[in-house]
Amino acid sequence: MLQDYQHTLFPYAYNILGSVEDAKDTIQDVLSNYISTPREGIENEKAYLVRSVINQSINAKNKRKTVNYEEVWLPEPVATGEEADKALHLRDIGSYTMLILMEALNPKERAVFILKEGFGYSHEEIAEVLSGTVEQSRKLLSRAKGKLDEHKQGSMLSNKTVSAAILDQYLHALRKGDVQRLENLLSQDIQFFADGGGKVKLVKKFCSGLHDVSELLLFVFDKYQQNFTFEFTLINHEPALLFFLNEKLYGCQVFSISSEDNKILRISTVLDPDKLKNMGR
């Protein structure tokens, strides 16, 4: 019976931690501890477990923040397309862009923002979950929104058909080495991030600006990706490309595309094999 809660609890843990494995471990720890917990005084089992998962996720996120991570850190991708695990509560999974932006928040701000904006909790409910006050919840939400507004880039394109067409043009430009065509798809302020987890040698971890990013993309494709097979999918509700060689998944690129002009604002490249192991065919 308790195992039925794993899928329900997953979005709460994952949206705070940004890691599939850490989220699963946190949930398993909470469920294991709950088995030996006296049930007297627990009126709502689900609410109790959600509260436990959220608070343990906050603690885990705080611990990870203290680790010196010299590489670019990107969230572990979760498939939300047709090939996705239908048992997971995918509608509650945060968008990839939002998970990246939320790295600017401390874990408690992140939890309040997720509960209020993602799950529709009231400040009274959040205060109960975090053992705080309504006023503290309001202040944390205000701080979180202020920090996110500093990095916001407008609304993202959500039309799957249009996104797929844009990425088809993107791949065509790379294959042809067509600089002009590629740059027509990119924002002037395009940002490129790559996360190898310290396990994969990267050409660059970060790059920004139209000319520099287009030059990097063309170089990497020409030198390393000519023989890859690319598949369009949705990762965290955003357009993405998976690249395979001999059926093995080598990388995942998630694209943040502006809904205003259909330009690519950010390319997040996940090459860390540990973050790709749940994404294979």
* Residues 133 and 180 both lie in one domain: no
pLDDT recorded at residue 22: 95
pLDDT recorded at residue 158: 83
Average pLDDT over residues 48-69: 85
Listed residues 124, 151, 178: the one ending a domain: 151
Listed residues 81, 116, 151: the one ending a domain: 151
In a domain, 71, yes or no: yes
* The Cα angle at residue 201 between residues 71 and 81, in degrees rounded to 5: 75
Q: What is the tens place of the pLDDT at every residue in 199-211?
A: 999 999 999 999 9
Q: Bigger pLDDT: 81 or 87?
A: 81
In a domain, 171, yes or no: yes
Listed residues 151, 184, 216: the one ending a domain: 151
- Among 91-95, 139-143, 151-155, 265-269, the minimum mean pLDDT is found in 151-155
* Residues 144 and 169 both lie in one domain: no
Q: What is the tens place of the pLDDT at every residue in 166-190?
A: 999 999 999 999 999 999 999 999 9
In a domain, 13, yes or no: yes
CB count within 10 Å of CB 251 equals 24
Residue % of the chain over a pLDDT of 90: 79
pLDDT score of 65 more than 70: no
Average pLDDT over residues 101-128: 96
Residue 230: CATH number of its domain: 3.10.450.50
* The Cα angle at residue 73 between residues 12 and 53, in degrees rounded to 5: 20
pLDDT score of 1 more than 70: no
pLDDT recorded at residue 40: 79
In a domain, 218, yes or no: yes
Task: Specify burial of residue 216 (Cβ count, 10 A radius: 0-12, 13-18, 19+).
Answer: middle
The sheet with strand 248-257 has its strands ordered as 206-208, 186-195, 264-270, 248-257, 238-245, 229-235
* Residues 144 and 216 both lie in one domain: no
Beta bridge partners of 253: 241, 269
pLDDT score of 264 more than 80: yes
Q: What is the tens place of the pLDDT at every residue in 218-240?
A: 999 999 999 999 999 999 999 99
* Residues 220 and 86 both lie in one domain: no
- Among 30-44, 58-72, 241-255, the minimum mean pLDDT is found in 58-72
Collect all residues with Cβ–Cβ distance below 8 Å to 32 and sequence separation of at least 6: none
Average pLDDT over residues 22-28: 96
* Residues 252 and 191 both lie in one domain: yes
Q: What is the tens place of the pLDDT at every residue in 138-147?
A: 999 999 999 9
Nearest to 259 by CA among 234, 239, 231: 239
* Residues 167 and 255 both lie in one domain: yes
Residue 89: CATH number of its domain: 1.20.140.160
* Residues 12 and 131 both lie in one domain: yes
Q: What is the mean pLDDT of the chain?
A: 92
Q: What is the tens place of the pLDDT at every residue in 119-134?
A: 999 999 999 999 999 9
* Residues 66 and 140 both lie in one domain: yes
Domain count, the chain: 2
- Band (85; pLDDT cuts 50, 70, 90): low
* Residues 15 and 128 both lie in one domain: yes
Residue span of the structural domain in which 124 resides: 2-151
